[in-house]
Structure 1
Amino acid sequence: MAIVVLRELREDMSEEFGPGDPLARIEKVHAAPADPSVPEFPDDRTFCGKPSLDMERLNYQPSGPDASWLPPDMSPWECPHCAEALRSL
């Protein structure tokens, strides 16, 4: 099964610079099944059930069948529910 890795972002206002544009911060990194008709895009929901529409796609593919779905530099933000769902596949 092909998967798409997505970042869920939240917007925080910077306290250092006063009012202004919000800064995007990573909330969680999720996995979603690839859309069957367009494999480079995610299906409607992640493996944990969240809507994928407002999430940002990461340009990452595991290097092999036993490689982690999660980019190594994103491990602090791993969605535990997506990880658990992928382990059960």
Structure 2
Amino acid sequence: MTVIVLEEPRRELSQDFGPGDVVSYIGKIHAAPADPFVPGDPADRTFCGQDTSGMEKLSYRPAGPGASWFPPNKRQWVCRDCDTALRTG
């Protein structure tokens, strides 16, 4: 099974009380199966059930069997539900 790694953007208003520009921060890192009709694109839902349409695809690919499905430098943002689904599925 091909796993597509996605980043859920988290947007917050600027803290400097400026014009109210939206600032992007890292949200959760999710996993989704590949779309069966468009290889390389995610299916409509992540393994935790979220809609993938507003998420950004990451270019990360696991190094090999047994390697982490997510980039090691993004461990603190991993969606625990997606992680559990992949480990138990």
Q: Please indicate the TM-score interval, normalised by the length of the shorter structure.
A: over 0.9
Report the number of matched residues. Answer: 89
Is 67-76 or 20-29 further displaced after alignment?
Answer: 20-29
**C-alpha distance in 2 between matches for 1:13 and 1:32:** 28
**C-alpha distance in 2 between matches for 1:20 and 1:33:** 36
Q: Could you tell me the percent identity over the aligned residues?
A: 53
C-alpha displacement of 1:86: 0.1
Residue type of the partner of 1:88?
T
Match of 1:40 in 2: 40
C-alpha displacement of 1:17: 5.7
Q: TM-score, normalised by structure 1?
A: 0.94
Indicate the SS of the match to 1:39: coil
Output aligned runs, 1:58-73, within 5 Å.
58-73=58-73
Detail structure 1 runs of 4+ shifted over 6 Å in the superposition.
none
Q: Does 1:26 align with 2:51?
A: no
Q: TM-score, normalised by structure 2?
A: 0.94
Indicate the RMSD between aligned Cα atoms, in angstroms. 1.1
* Structure 1 residues without counterparts, runs of 5 or longer: none
C-alpha displacement of 1:20: 3.9
* Structure 2 residues without counterparts, runs of 5 or longer: none
Residue type of the partner of 1:9?
P
C-alpha displacement of 1:12: 0.8
**C-alpha distance in 1 between matches for 2:50 and 2:65:** 25
Cα pair 1:47 1:82 within 8 Å, conserved: yes
Q: Does 1:74 align with 2:82?
A: no
Indicate the SS of the match to 2:76: helix
